[in-house]
Structure 1
Amino acid sequence: MRIMDMIARYAASKSWTLRPNIVLVEGTSDEALFRRADELSRLAGQVLLGDNISIVAAGRGDQGGTFGVARELIALRSYAPLVLDKRGFLAYRIVALVDNDHAGRQIIQDVTRLDRSAVEFQDIVALRPVIPKFIKTDPLSRQHECNLANLPYGMMDWEIEDTLSPKLIAKFEKANPDIIVERTVNRDKIHYNLEDSAKAVLHLFVQREAALEDLSGVVEIVHMLRAILGLPSCT
């Protein structure tokens, strides 16, 4: 065990599961969705998160969101250089994942302005409707690849709930009529504008009803995160 592992002590104070690669998400429902995808992948004999990635919520309720992500990312990045492995390299890698909405796009600008060493597509990234299979490894090239792949969708808002399969969403709407009051359609993509109460109902439904194929979009996000973290692809 590392003496003075400040990140381990900090994670323990938050009741986070700690692994060498830490991905911060906006809220507990996001964390639960990744956890469910991981559970279903394990049942299918596949590795998704494995033992080297932990997905952790920046906070509950008002303690989460984009401001919570920024708070925790800056705190963890300040501790990271103090915790080295036996080879003298950083023991932990920290990445933040935010929604591609006004708040998410703004927080990326704020974080990279407050921490000049933080880089988009290396330390913080927003969800996008299309996740490309990256060809290059440097963050600037990856940002360009992602922007190019998403050119048809412009500045379309995109959240993790939008990655759920149309079949699962249809089943959810049948069970909960009129709960999705607004949606934005752009070509083949749909963004669902959900109130917090509706999101809570949807996430409970997902935990109960979703199959692995319904969470293929979540799996794609993990593929992207593994590439950013420099980890091998899922098996």
Structure 2
Amino acid sequence: MTTPEPQSPSPQPPVPVSKDRVYRSPAGIAGGVLLLALALWLGIDAVVAGKGRTPWLALAALLFLVPLVLAYTVRPAVFANDDRLRVRNPFRVVVVPWGQVASFRSAYSNEVVTEGGDKYQLWSIPVSLRGRKKAARQEARRSAGAGRGRGGSLGGFGQSGRSDIDGAAAGAGADGPVRAEADKVMDELRDLLEARRPASTSQGEVTVRWAYEIFAPVLAGAVLLAVLSAIG
């Protein structure tokens, strides 16, 4: 009588990785695309129609400027999932597990602060003082409308129509005060931090990687410009 061989347990399916939430600056991207289009237009025109050293100077300038424009406008982004926060700034990428995030700060810039005391600016979520002032004005108007609605509900001939409108306006924002877009994003990140900080998958070390793909062409362009300037 043969004993059946024990079967190896079936492999467990891989744990799914949560999808990143991506936060970028539409205004920064739009400005970067316009600057890139202008630089390429002028640079290519100088390469094609220029004489003497002009084409080489134009190529060196493009090699120097294009990566910098990309770094400061198109490249910045913040990626957040259930396990960690990844901050892609102009010249480095910082990965911070939620367990290592101490807090988020919002003053003149938005920053993430680690448990070790290090601070990293969130380039793709810029603070807009104009946006905050606009949100404050909208909140003031909404509060004033709510006050008029409460006053109209006390009674009075011909007041019911206006009270209904004001009450609807007040109810539309009853879920909270009016906030600027950048402040809404920071509130969302704080909520995600509170929810995911204790998780076992949210632990680990902070890692920082420098963006050598930006440094290399910028340095090459700077050296080429210096050489061309030196040889006259």
TM-score, structure 2 length as denominator?
0.22
Q: Which has the larger radius of gyration?
A: 2
